[in-house]
Amino acid sequence: MSLIKSISGIRGTIGGRTGENLTPIDTVKFAAAYGTWLKKAHNSKKLKVVVGRDARISGSMVQQLTMNTLIGLGIDVIDLDLSTTPTVEIAVPLEDADGGIILTASHNPKQWNALKLLNNKGEFLNGEEGAEILKIAEAEDFDFADVDDLGAIQSKPDYMQKHIQEVLNLNLVNAEKVKKAKFKVVVDAVNSSGGIVIPALLEEMGVEVVKLYCEPTGHFPHNPEPLKEHLADICELVKKENADFGLVVDPDVDRLAFIDENGEMFGEEYTLVACADYVLSKTPGNTVSNLSSSRALRDITQKHSGNYEASAVGEVNVVELMKKNNAIIGGEGNGGIIYPEAHYGRDSLVGTALFLTFLAENGKKVSQLRKEYPAYFMSKNKIELTPGLDVDGILKAVEKRHAQEDISTLDGVKIDFAENWVHLRKSNTEPIIRIYTEAKTQQEADDLAVKMISEIKDIIA
């Protein structure tokens, strides 16, 4: 069981002891810290916060605790109830709210939940803001409202439909072209809120939908991280249904992966590549992804005469660099699309609509489209951390061993070799070291990962 406090929020497993897991007391404490920070930042004016959740079993409990804590601070709440991360993000500015809280542990298994915190633009807080909230929580420096000044809850459960309309209104989304293409798509939404909103979007665009695990029960039928080893069922169903492709989202619908018509993975790294290829073909410009993302985005961006930059891992870091470099599209290689015309947040609805429009315009099969992109293969591994392990020391030792190579220490250690790369970093959301490698064959990427894992174990020993 675990509780992880970071600048991006608080994440932990349900149950257990206070301070060691995400218990009701921990939930209240961090919701109170966020509300207190908002009040200080806005000089205690009457505040409004949007709250939504994914379909996790613990979601309703955590939501009630969070909302009632905010009410106790005198803050009004817009209750979206069952929702998605990008839906809450777009709701904050549309509601002219002062902030937002998304109750989701993203791709983590069902025993996890989290409070993910937004500013008044519907964007994740920066490091300085997150650190201040952690300090408030540690000091328990709360000042709750008198009975006459308590906040109130306003229920707005229709925001996923509003989100769909916002996506359909985007300039580069053409629902009419998609309708004429008569696509058939299989959707795996891992029994969370994507099972409601993704099929609804597809149907609005005239797509025939085959649903797989689309009941929002919170009982995930497989590991919710959209990786190949977890997606055998949808790969088989795409072939059985003779579908044009399959579509997978994680529980909070900010990560998107495709399966081609042959039941083969398109590659979650290539979700962003394909969407960027389409957007750049219409509106040339710059792109950004993080250090752990594929080189393929760089190649596609250069093909369209744009500039590519890499940020530290973390959505807030990608967004910050996108704004600085005037990027017209960006995101993360885990299937996260950030399209500023919609909003500055990873959004599977936006990615789905752009991808469908792209396919409808070019008339190609998904497998044909994939073959047009540079062939890179990635291996994603991790090492579990034991208490007291000096992670910084381990990464320093790796850096020293490869000092003759092209090294970035912007976020962990990334080593760019001539034909491949490896990125080692401590996760912000799990007690692990992530080890990402990329090369021109899967075997080479896997071999490089094995080599680096062995090297780290030697250092630890």
Cβ burial, residue 390 (10 Å; 0-12/13-18/19+): exposed
Please, are residues 417 and 355 in contact by the beta-carbon 8 Å criterion?
Answer: no
Q: What are residue 114's DSSP bridge partners?
A: 11
Q: Which of 83, 106, 289, 379 is catalytic?
A: 106
**Alpha-carbon dihedral 442, 443, 449, 454, rounded to 10 degrees:** 170
CA–CA separation, 78 and 285 (whole Å): 36
* Whether 106 is catalytic: yes
- Listing DSSP states for 376-396 in one string gives -EEEEEEEEPPTT--HHHHHH
Contact 257, 370 (CB under 8 A): no
Residue 258 pairs with which residues in a beta bridge? 247
Written as one letter, the residue type at 250 is D
Residue of 104, 10, 101, 13 whose CA lies nearest to 55: 104
Cβ-Cβ contacts under 8 Å for 20 (sequence gap 6 or more): 1, 2, 3
Task: Starting at the earlier edge strand, list the strands of the sheet with 421-426.
Answer: 377-384, 432-439, 421-426, 413-416, 406-408
The catalytic site residues sit at 106
